A and B are shown apart, each in its own frame.
Chain A
Amino acid sequence: MTKKHLLALFLSFICIISLKAQESYPVNGSKDERPRLFALINATIITGNGNTIQDGTILINKDKLDYVGKNIKVPESYVVYDAKGKYIYPSFIDLYSTYGIEQASSGARASWGAPQVFETQKEGAYAWNEAIRSENKAYKVFSADHKSAENLHSFGFGAVQTIAYDGIVRGSASLVSLSKERENMIIISPESSVNYSFNKGSSRNSYPSSIMGSVALLRQTYYDADWYSTQSDEFNISLREFKRLQKLTQVFETSGLTDYYRINRLQDEFGVKYLIKANGEEYKRLDFVKSMNSPLIVPLNFPKAPKVDNPMEASALSLSQLKHWELAPSNPSQLETQGFTFAITSAGISKSTDFWKNLRLSIAHGLTEEQALKSLTSIPAKLIGVEHLLGSLDKGKIANLLVVDQPIFNPNAQILENWVQGNQYILKSDIVNISGSYQVGSDKLEIEGKPPYKATYNGKAVRLTQEGSHVWIHPNDGNLLSIEAYIASRDPFVLQGHQLKENGETSPWKAIQTGSKTSSPQEKSKEVDLNLGDIVYPFNGYGYTQIPSAQTTLFKNVKVWTNEAEGVLEQADVLIEKGKIKAIGTNLKAPAQAVVVEGEGKHLTPGIIDEHSHLALESWNEAAQAVSAEVRMLDAVNPEDINIYRQLAGGVTSSHLLHGSANPIGGQSQLIKLRWGETPEGLKYNNTHKSIKFALGENVKQSSRSSTGNRFPQTRMGVEQVFEDAFTRAYEYKKAKSKKSVQFRKDLELEAIVEILDGERDITCHSYVQSEINMLLELSDKMNFKINTFTHGLEAYKLADKIVERGISVGTFADWWGYKYEVIEATPFNASLLNQQNVLVAINSDDQEMGRRLNQEAAKMIKYGNTSEEDALKMVTLNPAKMLHIDDKVGSIKVGKDADLVLWSDNPLSIYAVAEQTYIEGVKYWDVQENEEKQNQMALEKARLLKKLLRTQTPKQN
C-alpha cells in the first residue's frame, strides 16, 4: 500500500464514537465529514526522538501530526486543547499482540494411539505439513475488536502488530492501529513481519512429534522453498509464499532458553537474522543470547510469587523456581546493560495495571526510563520498518499520542488520553485539583494530595469525594454531618453548598481556600528488595557462579586402572595439565600451583562413557514417520538437566545421546562431554564420528499401541523393507546429486543416509532378538553399508560369531529383562559371553538412574560369566570409547590423552566405591566434599528466598 493510497484512505469523514465512512463506501443520509484539526498546547512534549519540548504545541491534521514544536501560533481553524501541566508522549507499539485475531486452539491434536496422519488434511495446493502455514495472512482474518482496543488504550498502546499464533511457519502479521474504526482504515502495514515458532499448533499432521522434528521440518522448508523456485512441475502455495515472505522482518517466538540454541543454529545455517520474541529467561544465558546479535521483543509477564504458606508444599519449590521469581524482573535491565536492541511487549499480560506494575518493577530493577520509552515506541517501529509512520512525535507521522498527568513512569502517573490516528480517546477525565487549606466559618478543612484525597475537618479525618465540579464530604464518625457542595469559583477555590443536619434540615455551607495547594505527598512506591541472588550456570542449585577451568593436578600414590598394557598400577602418581594426562609414574614432582590430591587407598580410572543415553534431552523420539534421519539430537539438548550433575556424581564424563526407538531409522546422535554449566555447543564432543540411531523389533512395529497402528511397518518383515527402501533411495539420491542439476532438491533425510553409505555416519542399532539382528547383518552385506554397534543387543550372544566377523560392537544392559516380549531370552551373561567371543562390548544405561551407577552395572559381569575386573571396567570406559571412535583421546589413562578421570574411594568394581572426584579435560566437575558445601549454600539461599517471598506475601496493613 503506497503512502499516497494511505492518505487517500484517510481523507475521509470521522466521527469519534461511530464508524467512519470510507471513501469507497456509500453514505446513508447526509455526509458529515469534518475538518479534524486539533491543537494541543502548553504541554511538556517528550517527542520520543530524544527531545523534550516545554510549553510545546502539537497540531493534528486528520490522522497526522502537522506540527510539533513551540514557536507557532495556532491557526483559528483548530480546536484547541490546553494541556498545561501535562505530558505528551508517542503512543506505545506492541509487536506481539493477538488483537482482533481469533487464535486456533491446539486441542485439535490427535490423542496417543490414534491413527497417525501422514499428509495435510487441508484442501488446496498447500504444503504437505499443516505446521507450515506461510499462506496465512493476519490481514485476511483481522477483525477490529473495539472492546479489546479500549483495554489496550489503557496500557498506552496506539498500534499493535497482530499475529495468528499457529504453526511453525505462521504466515504474515499485520500492524494495525487501535483506532475504533473499520478494519479498512486501521491496517497500517498489512504484512509487517513473518512469524515462526517450534510449536506445530493445530496441525493435524503427526509429524513433527518432537522438538528436533520441528527444527528439521523448518530446515527442510528453507531448502524446499529454494528448490521450489527452480522447478515448474509442482505448484505449492505454502512454498511460494514462504519464499516471498523472506523479504519481511522474520520474527521467531521462543518459549524457553533452549529455543535460543536452536534458533542460533538456524541463523547460522540459513544466513537469516530473526527478531526474537523473548521469554523472560534471557538473563540466565546473557552471553549466549548476546552472541546471537539478534534484536528481541521482551515480555514483562514475570512469574507470580509462589505460595509458601505451607512449608511442606514450599519444599517442593526448587531453588531454580525461586531464583527465577526473584531475578525475572531484572531481565529487561540486564538486557539494557548488555546493549541489546529490544522492544517491550505486553504479551502474556491481560490487565493494564499488571503491565504498569511490572514495567515499574523493571525500572526499579534498573531499566532506565529512556530505554523503557524507546522500547515501547521508536524501537518497535524501527524493528518492523515503520519508523517513518510511528514511534515518535514528528511532523508527518501518524497522530498516535498519550496525554499524561505527570511524567509517565512516575509511580502514580495516569494516562488521561490516548490519541490514535488523530482520534481522541479519553481514559480519565482530568479532575480539577482542589487540594489546599480552607476556612469554613471558624472551622478548618484540609484537603491533601489528589483524588482520592486525604481530608480532615477540624483535624478529624473525613471522606471527601469529587466528581467533576461536585464535592461531597462524609463523616468517618457520627459527629459531623454530610456536606454537598460544588466548585463555585477558582483561584482561590470556593466550595459552596449545603450541610445536612440530623433533623433533616439543611443549612448553607461555604469553604474558602486560604492556603495554597499542599503538594501531593509522594506516595511511597512499594519498596523493592534489590538484594538479588547470583545468576548460576546452569540455572539451578548445583550451578556455578563462574564456569570452572582446568587445573594442573597431581594424584599421588593412587591405584591407577590404566586400561593399557600396564594394567592396574598400585601406588602410582598421575599428573594432569592443560586438560591432558601429562605424566604417569612414581614420585612425580608437583609443578608450582598444582593441586595435589592424596590418593592413598583410592582408585583412579578413566571417566565412564555411557554409550546409550537420553540424558539432557527435551525429547528423543520423532515417531511420526518410519524414517526420521533428518532430525538431530543436538536440537533437543537441554544443558540445564540436573541429571548431568547426577551422572558426574557417578563418574560419567561422556554420554552418547541417542534418538529413541520409535521408528526404524531414528535421528542423528550427539556425543557430549558432561561439561556442567556449558551451553549445548559447549557440551558437544567435537570432531567425532557422526552417528545415527536405527531400531528393530517391538518398538518400531508399534507393539505397545492399544490398537493396531497404521504406520508401516507393523511386522519384522516390514522393518527389513523400510531399510531396503531407505538405502535404495539413498543410492538414487547420491547419483542424482552427483549430476549437480539446478533443480536438485536437497533432502536432509537422505543426506544423512548417504553419509552412512559414505562411511561418514555410524549406525547404532537398537535390537533385541537374533532374527532381526541376523536380518540387518544380511542386509548390510547386500546393500553395502556398515553397522557400527548393536545397542541393547540382548540376544547378540546368540550371534556372537557373525557379529565379530563383521567387526560390529555391542552395547548392552547388564541385567535388564522382563519388560517386554522380545527380552524373553535376554540373559545377564550376554556381555560376558560376547567378551569371551572377542566382540567389543560395552555396558550402557539408556536410563539416568543406571547411568550414574555404570561401574556397578559393569561389575555384574564378574558375577554373570566371570569377566575379570579389568575387562569389566573396560566395558564402561575403553570399550565404549572404541565404539565411538574416540579411544585415541579417552577411555584409558595414557600420557597425552584427555584428563577425563574419576577418583574412587574404593575398587570401582565394588559396590562400596563412591566417586569422589570427576574430571573432564582437567576440569573438576564433581567433588563429593565440595558438593556438601554446595548443599549448605543452597539451603542458605533457599532460606533467604523463602523469607523474601513471605515478606512479599504479608497481608497489606491498612
Chain B
Amino acid sequence: MKKIFLLYIYICFAGHLFAQATIYPAAQQAESIRIDGATIHIGNGETITNGSVVFDKGVITYVGDVQGAPSSAKVINATGKQLFPGFIAPNTNLGLVEIEAVKATVDFAEIGENNAHVRSIVAYNTDSKVIPTIKFNGILLAQTTPRGGLISGSSSIVQLDAWNWEDAAYKIDDGIHVHWPALNTNRFRFMSDGQIAEAKKQIEVRKTSLLSFVKEAKAYAVNSSDNTVTNARLAAFNKVLDGSSNLYVHVESAKDIRDAVLTFTDLGLKPVLVGASEAHLALDLLKQHDIAVILKQTHRLPSKEDEDVSLPYKQANMLYEAGVLFAFAVDGFWEQRNLPFMAGTAVAYGLPYEEAVKSLSLNTAKILGIDKQTGSIEVGKDANFIVTIGDALDMGGNKLIHAFIQGRNTEVNSLHKQLYDRYNHKYAQ
C-alpha cells in the first residue's frame, strides 16, 4: 500500500516537473552589451539618472552617464526604466525543498544536533520550479542554507539560472550556521518555577556542548598533523576558524544576542547574526563589536503582546541609524519572491530608499563575503542586475524586463506565468 502511495506521489511529481522544462538557463554572454537611459541604483547608496551600463564576458566594464559610454556590440534602450543590482536572498531554503508538506522533497534539516560537516550545496536542486518564480521578482542570488540542530552545516551561495548545482555555485560553503540555544521566555507564564529552572539547565547544557565543540575544533586545527583520529565535524569547522567562511549565529532575544556575541568574540570569532529580532535592544554591543545582522523577516507580527505594533517594520531603520550593517531576509523558500517588499516596507517606516536597496544588494554581499564579485553596479563586478519598469521595491513597479546574471540574459518567466498564459489561451478559445 505504502509503495503504491509513493509511486502515486512520484508519478504526480514527474508529470509536474516537466511543466516548466521549457524555461532554459541562458547561454554565456556572447557579445558586449550596453544598456542606456535607465535610472541606475548602484547598490552603494548612489544613483545615476539616465545612465549607461556596459558589460562584456559577464563583467561590468562601464557605469556612468550615457554620453561617456563606450560603444558595444548590442545596445538596449532602457529609457524611463530602472536598473538595480540583482537582489541577494540570504538565509533561504531555496532548492532544498519543493513542497513543505511532502517529506520526500524536504532536504534542509539533517538529523542530529551537530552537523558541522553537512553541506547544502550538494542538495541544491537547480530544477526546482520555485527558483524561476523567485528570479521573476529580481532575486538573482541566494544563500541556500541548512537548518536544524545546534549546528546545521554549511550554506552556499548560488546564482538562480543554472543547469546543475556546480554551475549554480557562486560561493561554496560560505559559512556554518549555528543556532544559539534559546529559552522561550514567552512560555514562562505557562511554566512552574521548577520547569523554568529545568529549561534553563537544558539551555546551559547545550551551550556548553556548543562551546566545547568550538574549543575542540580550535585545538584540532592547530594540531592537525598530530590528530590520532579524523573528525569530519571538527575538520569542517576549520574554515570558520581560518576566516574563509562565516560563522552565522541564529539568535533572537537581546539577552541571547549579548551572550552569543560576547561568547564568540571571546573565542576570537566574529559572528554574523541571523534573525536577531531584538537586535534593536543590543545596538551598542553590535556597533562596538562591528557585528552584522541578517534581519528576521520584516513582514512579521511583533513577538510580544506589548511590543510596538510596527516594530518589525521599523527595526531596519533603527539598525541603520545606529550604523549596524544589515541585510533584508525572508524565511523559507518560495517566500523569497517577496524579499524586495520587505525593504519597501522598511522605507515606509523611515529607512532611506537607497539604503533599502543597499541592504538587498551590496550590504548583503558584504555580509556574505561576495562583495568583490557582486552586490553593486560597479566596474569589474559580475553583471548581475535587473531592469524593471518601475520601483522594484513596490509591488506595482516590480516588473522585470531583463535579468542578467554574470552577463547572461536570463529568461524572465516562471511556471506561474506559464499557467497564466495557458489559461488565457483556454479562455480565448
Show the binding face of A for B, using Cβ within 8 Å.
Answer: 312-313, 315-316, 318-321, 540-542, 642-643, 645-646, 649, 698, 703-704, 797-798, 800-801, 815, 817-821, 823-829, 832-833, 836-837, 848-850, 852-853, 856, 859-860, 862-865, 869, 905-906, 909-914, 931, 935, 938, 942
Contact = CB atoms under 8 A, between A and B. Distances in A.
A864 B334 CA distance: 15
A836 B421 CA distance: 13
Contacts of A865: 420
Contact of A318 (B97, B301, B305): B305
A837 B347 contact: no
B416 A827 contact: yes
A865 B98 CA distance: 24
Interface in B92-138: 97-102, 130
A836 B426 CA distance: 13
A821 B12 contact: yes
Contacts of B415: 825, 827
Contacts of A319: 305-306
A514 B198 CA distance: 60
Given A815-B337, A911-B347, A913-B348, A821 B102 contact: yes
Given A313-B255, A859-B395, 4 more contacts: A815-B338, A818-B334, A906-B348, A938-B306
Contact of B310 (A649, A819, A832): A649
B309 A862 contact: no
28 contacts: A312-B253, A313-B255, A320-B305, A542-B309, A646-B309, A704-B101, A797-B423, A798-B423, A818-B99, A818-B333, A819-B334, A820-B100, A820-B102, A821-B9, A821-B101, A824-B16, A825-B419, A828-B416, A829-B420, A856-B395, A860-B395, A863-B396, A864-B420, A865-B420, A911-B394, A911-B395, A912-B394, A914-B349
B334 A863 contact: no
B305 A819 contact: no
Interface stretch (B183-191, B212-220, B319-327): B183-191
Nearest to A824: B16
A865 B420 CA distance: 8
With a 10 A CB-CB cut-off, give which of A316, A826, A911 has the most chain B CB atoms: A911
Contacts, number: 143
Contact of A909 (B255, B348, B396): B396
Pick from B185, B253, B347 the residue with the most CB of A within 10 Å.
B185
Contacts of A860: 395
B73 to A, nearest CB: 32
- Nearest 4 pairs of A and B residues by beta carbon: A911-B344, A818-B334, A316-B185, A829-B420
Given A649-B309, A911-B344, A800 B337 contact: no
B349 A800 contact: no
Contacts of A797: 419-420, 423
In the complex, which range does the number of interface residues on chain B fall in?
35 or more
A15 B398 CA distance: 91
Given A319-B305, A646-B301, A935-B308, A824 B396 contact: no
B289 interface: no
Interface in B299-322: 299-302, 304-306, 308-310
B334 A817 contact: yes
Contacts of A912: 344, 347-348, 394
Interface in B398-417: 398-399, 415-417
Nearest to B312: A849
Contact of B305 (A540, A862, A909): A540
A918 to B, nearest CB: 12
B194 to A, nearest CB: 13
Contacts of A316: 185-186, 188, 304
Contact of B300 (A313, A704, A849, A863): A849
A320 B186 CA distance: 13
Contacts of A798: 423, 426
Contacts of A642: 305
Interface in B327-354: 332-335, 337-338, 341, 344-345, 347-349
A4 to B, nearest CB: 51
Contact of A910 (B253, B255, B394, B419): B394
B35 to A, nearest CB: 22
A11 B19 CA distance: 92
A849 to B, nearest CB: 5
Contacts of B427: 800-801, 836-837
Contacts of B101: 698, 703-704, 819-821
A856 B341 contact: yes
A903 B334 CA distance: 32
B396 A910 contact: yes
A701 to B, nearest CB: 12
Contacts of B230: none
B305 A541 contact: yes
B48 interface: no
Contacts of A906: 348
B360 interface: no
A315 B186 CA distance: 10
B393 interface: yes
A299 to B, nearest CB: 18
B424 interface: yes
Given A312-B254, A856-B341, A912-B348, A931 B398 contact: no
A837 B427 CA distance: 8
Given A859-B395, A911-B345, A643 B301 contact: yes
A540 B309 CA distance: 13
Contacts of A848: 301
Given A312-B253, A318-B306, A818-B100, A829 B395 contact: no
A829 B415 CA distance: 11
A864 B416 contact: yes
Given A818-B333, A863-B396, A911-B345, A853 B299 contact: yes
A849 B301 contact: yes
Given A820-B101, A856-B395, A912-B394, A313 B309 contact: no
Contacts of A942: 306
A906 B394 CA distance: 13
Interface in B1-46: 9, 12, 16, 19
A71 B306 CA distance: 65
Interface string B188-207: 11000000000000000000
B398 to A, nearest CB: 6
Contacts of A856: 341, 345, 395
Contacts of A801: 427
A826 B99 CA distance: 12
B396 A833 contact: no
